[in-house]
Each structure stands twice: as C-alpha cells, then as structure tokens.
Structure 1
Amino acid sequence: MVLTLTGCGGPSGDDISTYTYSSELDIKNLDSSDADDQCPLRAIHAVIDGLMKTDKKGNITYGIAKSEEVSEDGLVHTYKLRKDVRWDNGDLVTAHDFVYAWQRIFKKKGSYYYMFADGIASIQGAQELSDKIDVGEELTDDDLNSMGVKALDGYTLEVKTTVRVSFLDELLAFPPFYPINEKFAEKQGSKYGKSAKTILGNGAFKMINLEPGSVAEFKKNENYYDQKHVKLQRLVMKLVQEPKVAAQAFEAGETDYAPINSDLVDKYKEYDSFKQVYDGFLFYISINFKNEDLANLNVRKAISYAINRKDLCENVLKDGSQVVKGFIPSGLATSPCGVDFRKDSGDFTFYDKAQAQDLLNEGLKELGKSEITLRITYGTDKSPMDVFATYLQNALSKLDGIKVEMVATTKQDRIYNKQKNGDFDLAVTRWGPDYRDPTTYLTIALSTNSNNYGKWSNSEYDQLVGQVGVESDVNKHWQEMKDAEKILLDDYAYIPVFEKGAATLQNPKVKNLVIKPCCTISFEYVEKTE
C-alpha cells in the first residue's frame, strides 16, 4: 500500500509559485572558476545560461547558442548566439563573455581548468596552459589568447579542438563553460560571486539573497529570453540541512525536496513522496601512496577484498546504491557497438574475507611487520560518508594485523587541508561525472591531475590516457580506455566501493525537476500543481 504524508503542504506546499529545495551542502560562492560542488553549481545554473542547456527531459539543447556549425574534420565549432539575451544589468550577452570566462578560469587557476585540456574538451592550446599552471608558471595575455576560443564578432563564437569531441555540447551545458560579464566581474574583483549583489546572471532566476550555511533565495527573471518555460516565481534553497531536519521540514510542508539518509529509508519508503534517484556518483577509497604500508600492493588488495559491498548497499545504505564493479560506474557510456562500458570492461571488485586475510598476511610479511595502523579520514557533513567510513572501519577491524583510527572532519577540511597536504592514509570520497565519457573518471588518476591527492603515478597509464585524448578512431579510443582502467585497478590505485543512489522525499505535486546523471539539476521547468 502506498501512503501519503499528510503534512506535505504548508508555506511551500500550498504556494504553487514557490519551490523549496533542501540540500546537505553549502554555497560558498557562485564563481564558476572556484565553485566545486553540486550545490553552488546548481545555483550558478539557476542564474546563468551557457551555450547549451538541458530541456525538461534532461536532453542537451540550445541555450544562448541558436545554431552550431561543425567543420568536416570535427575540429572547428562555430556557434551563432541569440541576440536577445541580456545580463541582469541590461548588457547584451556576447561572444566575448565566453572568451573572457574561459580565459579567466586559467588566469585564476580555477578548479575546472583541466576540463578544457586534452582528454576532455580538448580546446586548442588549453593543454599548454594547463601544463604551465602545473609547473607553477604565470600565464601571460599572449598565453591566454592562444587558446582556441575566439569571438569572430559579437554573436559568433569559434571553438577549436585538437580532436573530435563527441560530447562537447554536453560539456558546454556545464557551469565552468558559462559566460561571465567582464565589466561586472572586474569591478567586483575578489568579491565576485560571494553574495547576491556580486553575481550577475542572464538565466531563468535572479539571486536575491545568499546566506552561506543557511539559505539562498531567487526570484523569476522577468527578462529571461526563454521565460515561457518558467512557471515559478520564487526558488528557495535551504542549505546545510541534516537529513533528519530536512525530513521534518518536508513533513511540515516547509520544503518540496528533502534528501534523506539510510537511517530514514525504512520510515518513509512506503510513502508516495519517497523517491530513489540515481545521480551517477562513484564512492571510493583514496589511498595515500606516500604511506609505506599502503605502497604495498597486497595490503591495498586486502583492503578491497575485505569490503562486502553487497551488504553495504542492500542492508546498510538502502537508498538504491549498488555495488560498483570498476572505476567507471554503469550506465555512463556505451561502446561503438552499444555495450555499456562497465559490462564490456569486466569486474574488478570482489569480496572474500579469507583471501583478504591471506593478502594482508603476505603484505605484512613483505613489510616485516606484525601490524599496521591506518587512519580513515571522512567528512561528517555529507551523508553517507560517515556510514561508509564506519562500515570500512568494521570491515578492516575484522582482519588480524590492521588497527584502525577514525579521523572525522568536514568535507572542506578533508579535501583542501588533509588530502591536499597528504595528511591521510585512507580517505572515503566520491566523484560525480561531468560528462558521459569514461575519461571523466580516468583523468582523476593522472599524475598531473591536481585531484590525485594520493600521488599514485604510472607512466604507462599517463601515456595511455594521453593517447585516449587524441585518438580519433572510436574503436581504439574505447579499447584504450578499457586498458587504462585495467592498469589503474590491477594496481589498486583507488578502491571503488559503490555507485550512489539517493533517497529523497519529493512533493508529488511537483513535476519537471530535471535530475539526470552528468547534468546539473535544473529548476527552470519546475511546475507545482494545486
């Protein structure tokens, strides 16, 4: 029997012009060169449109671009821009706004500059800029102008790539590729994007209030070029809400969308508002290779074999998460023959406690030790990281020869302090796909990638992933990605654990909320009925 939460109504539920969305995450700013998590990216997406965007079914469609021409060799993309798109200050959005924004990410050494380089967007000249940043060189104006993005005129943008990129349009719907108004951004300086007054949009909504750690509020942009699709008058994002608090708010009718954790699934799973959402995130263990104990292959293998992933997903998480068989989750990409990458590449994760103990014994023998101590570092402010870390602790504690210490902190401290500075042994972490190609995961492990906090390095792997980035033969491209994953996981460079599902409570009177892997959640088409 399907039940209904009778309290779903109230201030947000009764007002069909307002949609309230609860998030466990915060918004530190709306600067696309610096924002690096789902919540700020969703907020940017609400206020700024790019060349491309998603339609109400989650498919990629034109945004500010109204047409695209691609050269015969697939290396030159020419976008014609709409002439009716304005920034909130009345300025027209032009091709220069894209050139400025893309160059600005490199100039500021932003979080996503690597996405413009070879293997991903493969923008001409971007790899050279990335290489200079990686070795600490300062970029000159000539360096920035060498990148293959040019404003041919006010409303024509030319983008040149080094190889044919089949998913380029999908990338262009991602916030780091959005335009920025140069005059406004330069005036704001370091304050750009840090408040409602220091962000300038052109999208479906205008930000009217930002209180980090509490709330972000938006109103409909009455001058939006595509406003016929926008039914909401107001959008509210409640920030840093614990699942229990979000669920209580949902029952009280104070929010239309509440993420819940495994502790709450059994309570709500029979209600019509309970929805499991697949968001495509891979949850895995990052290993510090500077730790001499973890540099031992048998120790790393023992850790992987000790984890009963099926039990974790089905009996602990209970949110639709599923066992992951490799570093590339299922459903991300298909081969030229139409076969899912995960099925084609094979299985790399197994559970066998006895073999885990044997592997650990062999590793300890090689190390000349009878016991090792490993720290598990995790953030407590984003579920289910605490559940994941605790399960890992219990699994490893069942092995003779490992002593486990737990290091609880915040996500920001885990990533930007402990992992970045190498102050960890095992870190439970996650990665979400930015586009539908295995390289969105494979590039993480490159020795030059700033996200490779564990400092795993393999020259054969680097060379192979580099070849993937320039390979024009689709069959060779596919095989090279399979070969790269095998190198990565045969060496247990990372330990993949599960593909994340998300348990949520959603107002059944709401439709057209676009949630799809590889796409930033879109509020543009949300509609509430009486």
Structure 2
Amino acid sequence: MKKLLSMVLCAMMALTLAGCGGSGGDSSTYTFSSELDIKNLDSSDADDGCSFTAMHAVIDGLMKTDKKGNIVNGVASSSEVSDDGLTHTYKIRKDAKWANGDPVTANDFVYAWHRIFQKKGQYYYMFCDGIASIVGAQEMSDKIDNEEDITDADLDAMGVKAVDDKTLEVTTTTRVSFFDELMSFPCFYPINEKFCEKQGDKYGKSAKTILGNGAFTMTNWEPGSVAEFEKNDKYYDAKTVKIDKLVMKLVQDPKVAAQAFEAGETDFAPINSDLVDKYKKDDSFKQINEGYLFYISVNFQNSDLANLNVRKAISLAINRKDLCENVLKDGSQAASGFVPSGLSISPEGKDFRDEADTYTSYDKKAAQAALDEGLKELGKSEITLRVTYGTDESPMDVFATYLQNALSKLDGIKVEMVATTKQDRIYNKQKNGDFDLATTRWGPDYGDPTTYLTMGISTNGNNYGKYTNSELDALMDKVANESDVNTRWQEMIDAEKIMMDDLCYIPVFEKGTATLQNKDVKGLVIRPVGVPYTFQYVSK
C-alpha cells in the first residue's frame, strides 16, 4: 500500500511540474520558445530581434544590459567623454576574452565597424549623422547610396581608433546623449578578426562559424528548428551565469509552444490571441511590452497611394481600439503616432507621446469621404490595393486580415492579399518596391525618437516606400546636429508631425505580447528597446 501511495504521489508531482512549464524539471537548462528564426549571428548583417537575442547570448559589446535592464559597462571597464562631448574613450577589460582564449582588444571593434561599411551591412546607418554621428560614417554612407566603393582611406578617416590593445577612442561630429546605450546594440559589437577572416562568407551562419566573448557559446544551430548554447567558462562575468545550458526553440507555432509549456518542455512560450482566453487566469500568464510598433508601409511609387486622401481613408478606416482589445487581446494598445509611448523622456521628464499630438482615429464616415475625394482627384471609381504580409510573424496575419476587412467596408477599394514569409516580404518584395501596402513592424534600437523618425528620411535604407519630403530631410538634419536638448526635442516633435500629416507610414498599434512563463524562473531581462531578451541572469 505504501508503495502504491508513493507511486501515486510521484505521478501527481510529475503532472504538477508539467503544468508549470520548465525544461523537464532540469534546473540547469532554460528553454525559450520563439515564433521567429535566427537570420544569422553576423553583426554586420543581422537585423531582427530573434537574431539579436541569440547574438547577445554569445557576444558582449562595450556596454550591456544589467539584471534590472539598465545599460552598464560590458567589455568596457570604464568610459570617459571629453568636455565637448565629441571624444569617447573606452578601456577594455583585461579579463575580457573570446571563447577560444584570445583577449578582446580595441582592434576587434575597429575591425567590426569597418567591416559593416565594407559589406554595406543592414545597420551601417546607425553609425551616421543623426544617430551615433561617428566622424567619417556619413561620408561612407553617402558613397554607398551612390553605389561607390569604400576605400581604405575612407575607413582610416572614420572616427574609431585603437589607441592600444585595451583603449578604444571614438570621435563624433556632435554630442550624442545616448551614445553609451548605442554601444550595447549588436551592430556595434566586436568581431575577432582572425577568426572572421578564416570563416569568410560563412561567418555567423552556423554554430561552428561564430566566436563569442559573452555569457554562452553556441553548440548547435538547426535553422528553423533549434539553437543550443552552453555556459562560457571564459566569460569575464561567468559568476552571474546560473544556468549551464540555454535552448532556443525556433519558428514554433504558439499552440505548439503552449503545449510544450504544459508538458514541461519549455520555460517561456509566446502565445497568440486565440489562446489568451484559455490561459489569462493562469499564474504563468504574463503580458509584456516588446516595444514594437506595428504599422502599414505605403509604397509612394503607386500613384493611387501617392494621393494623400487615399492614405487618410486607409488610416481612418482602422478601428485600432477594437483590434487591440477584442482581436489581439495581448496587451497591445492603439498607436497614436509613429513614435511609441514609453520610448523616450523629454528634458522636462515627460514622455514623447504626452507632448506630441495624436494622429490616429477611427471614423468610417470620414474615411469614405476622404476616399471619395481621393478617387475624384485620381479620376477613378475604384482602386485595387495589395496587402503584403508574412505568415510566419504572428500576429501579422491577424493584422493583415483586420486591415483587409476594414478596407473592404469602403466603397471604391478592392483588396488583394499577398501572403508570404517575413524574409520575402522585406528583402524581396518591399526592398524591390513590389508591394502596395505592407503590414510590418519596427522595434526601437535605442531609447530616442530618432530610431523611428529617421525612417522618414528620403535616403534611409529602410524607407522602402520611397517617401520624400525635403522639409523633413532638412529638419532631421537639424536634429542630427542640434546640441541644445530642448530645441532638439521640439524639432523631433515637429518632425513626427510632418511624417504623420503626410501619413508616410500609417501607425496602427504598439505591440504587447502574451506569454506563458515558468514561475520558478527568475532573472530573464526583457527590454522594449534594443536587444529584446537577456539570458545572462536567468536562474531556476
């Protein structure tokens, strides 16, 4: 009888653990489910949150995130800024090493930053005027825009220099108040030159072709399936790493992730709106703010969409509150402008959204009137618009379907849906102008409104819709060189007004995420800005 009772109790305990989630009860392993895939771990090319999360697991920059989400020293043991704010000097930790034992040097940063321009990487614009404002970066960006080659002389003129192995000096064209925060972003990460050159074009594309200096080392990566990491014993801050193994389950359907969570096979599972009602009363249910703005990218090369009244009709037709509260149900909130709430605080301590105007509303009658006026101006009775979206980037499909329904209620618009993948949407269709309306998103790279406002600049590489406004370009140039913080703040408010009056992009909602999280896990750092997740401090 005692044996039977013991067996029953063990079975009950197993079921209880399964219901809580958690990597098979293994306290040394943390398992994280992601709806997205890792593009690669090459800081000159990766440009998505999932890749950034994986990259940050294996690489530290000059600065990093602490357990409270604050930006603190990473491989830099200290930093100094000159009185004029133009020269930043970073001392590299003596105990900072690559996983192969090589010391991390100042040249690792010089090499990586030069490389992103040589390869015309996704994020070279972050080095330029208006963001990091590093000397020589804008000139190289202009050459890239003009399809000119970057020369050794161009690189030598860039304001980044290894004074010695452990001293990095960075020179900017203007004072950048958020420069240290930028240094925690992946495009500013170091790269071990010798290792990278040996890998060639394969660098960062597999577990064997990435070398890190961070909390973990990548041991296995099967694209579209799983990525596995182990604690890096050579990490300078290894004492803070409490787990031995990290597992990222990739491209996992929310329903599958939820089932895996219930079975105790994962510690973190993002779920979609269909599952919220089922789990919202569960202790493991948590809504988080990932910081993404979901919006509609408009192709201005389409003559119908170049009409402002047509764009107004599209924006007015969307009931953002209904979409967030009754469809998404994940904590998302209606966007009132292109700069999300909670991103940046003014010199007076006020949120940008509290000081800027509200540019969105729902009014079907006004939407129809705007469309009628637009059609009249175009000399047409009806227009056809394609809505392009990725089916592998939830809830983009829900967003796109809601947009289709909203536009279909207007007389004079015919909607065609173009379902594809995120990669195809961005790098083929949008990049090549093969779209009308694309449902997309942007996550803030750093905590300043310019991370969104620069998207409206005519030469910005992410301005796929080819929106051009000389007044905005001139104003953003002022923002880039403005040293007075109060004047700069007002200029950014004015810049957003230009963008929203033109509806160069149509903001829809600020994304919340519904998740299931193992209650026994502590220390997962979630930031709505920069790298979304930090695993260094996780414990079970």
Query: How high is the TM-score relative to the length of structure 1?
Result: 0.98
1:25 aligns to 2:36 (yes or no) = yes
In the alignment, which residue of structure 2 is the partner of 1:450? 461
Query: Which residue identity does 1:233 align to in structure 2?
Result: D
Q: Is the 8 A contact 1:196 1:210 kept in 2?
A: yes
1:436 aligns to 2:447 (yes or no) = yes
CA distance in 2, matches of 1:509, 1:13: 13
Q: Deviations over 1:262-296 (max 9, x none)?
A: 01100100001101000111000000111111111
CA distance in 1, matches of 2:503, 2:393: 25
Map 1:4-19 onto structure 2 (within 5 A).
7-8=18-19, 12-19=23-30
Cα distance change on mapping 1:6 and 1:200 into 2, 3 Å: closer
1:85 aligns to 2:89 (yes or no) = no
Query: Which residue identity does 2:393 align to in structure 1?
Result: K
In the alignment, which residue of structure 2 is the partner of 1:196? 207
Q: 1:245 aligns with which of 256, 259, 279?
A: 256
In the alignment, which residue of structure 2 is the partner of 1:126? 137
Query: Which residue identity does 2:212 align to in structure 1?
Result: G
In the alignment, which residue of structure 2 is the partner of 1:493? 504
Q: Is the 8 A contact 2:140 2:154 kept in 1?
A: yes
CA distance in 2, matches of 1:318, 1:362: 35
Query: Which residue identity does 2:394 align to in structure 1?
Result: S
**Superposed displacement of residue 8, structure 1:** 3.4
Query: Which residue identity does 1:522 align to in structure 2?
Result: T
Q: 1:171 aligns with which of 164, 182, 198?
A: 182
CA distance in 2, matches of 1:29, 1:290: 31
**Superposed displacement of residue 6, structure 1:** 5.7
Cα distance change on mapping 1:428 and 1:5 into 2, 3 Å: farther
Query: Once the two structures are aligned, what percentage of the paired residues are identical?
Result: 75
Secondary structure of 1:359's counterpart equals helix
Query: Which residue identity does 1:480 align to in structure 2?
Result: E
CA distance in 2, matches of 1:454, 1:269: 39
Secondary structure of 1:7's counterpart equals helix
In the alignment, which residue of structure 2 is the partner of 1:218? 229
Query: Which residue identity does 1:344 align to in structure 2?
Result: E
**Superposed displacement of residue 385, structure 1:** 0.2
In the alignment, which residue of structure 2 is the partner of 1:337? 348
Q: 1:325 aligns with which of 320, 336, 355?
A: 336
**Superposed displacement of residue 383, structure 1:** 0.5
Q: 1:257 aligns with which of 259, 268, 281?
A: 268
Q: Is the 8 A contact 2:226 2:247 kept in 1?
A: yes
List runs of 5+ in structure 1 lacking aligned partners. none
Q: 1:368 aligns with which of 379, 393, 404?
A: 379
Query: Which residue identity does 2:265 align to in structure 1?
Result: E
Secondary structure of 2:213's counterpart equals coil
Q: Deviations over 1:476-499 (max 9, x none)?
A: 101110111011110111100000
Q: 2:536 aligns with which of 519, 524, 529?
A: 524
Root-mean-square deviation (CA, aligned residues, Å) is 1.1
Q: Deviations over 1:194-230 (max 9, x none)?
A: 1111101111101000110111000001111101100
In the alignment, which residue of structure 2 is the partner of 1:146? 157
In the alignment, which residue of structure 2 is the partner of 1:502? 513
Q: Is the 8 A contact 2:337 2:500 kept in 1?
A: yes
Q: Return structure 1 stretches of 4+ with deviation > 6 angstroms.
A: none
In the alignment, which residue of structure 2 is the partner of 1:229? 240
CA distance in 1, matches of 2:258, 2:329: 16
CA distance in 1, matches of 2:115, 2:460: 19
1:206 aligns to 2:212 (yes or no) = no
Q: Deviations over 1:124-159 (max 9, x none)?
A: 111111111111010011101111010001100001
List runs of 5+ in structure 2 lacking aligned partners. 1-14
1:484 aligns to 2:498 (yes or no) = no
Q: 1:299 aligns with which of 302, 306, 310?
A: 310
**Superposed displacement of residue 27, structure 1:** 1.3
Map 1:29-178 onto structure 2 (within 5 A).
29-178=40-189
CA distance in 1, matches of 2:277, 2:172: 50
Aligned length: 525
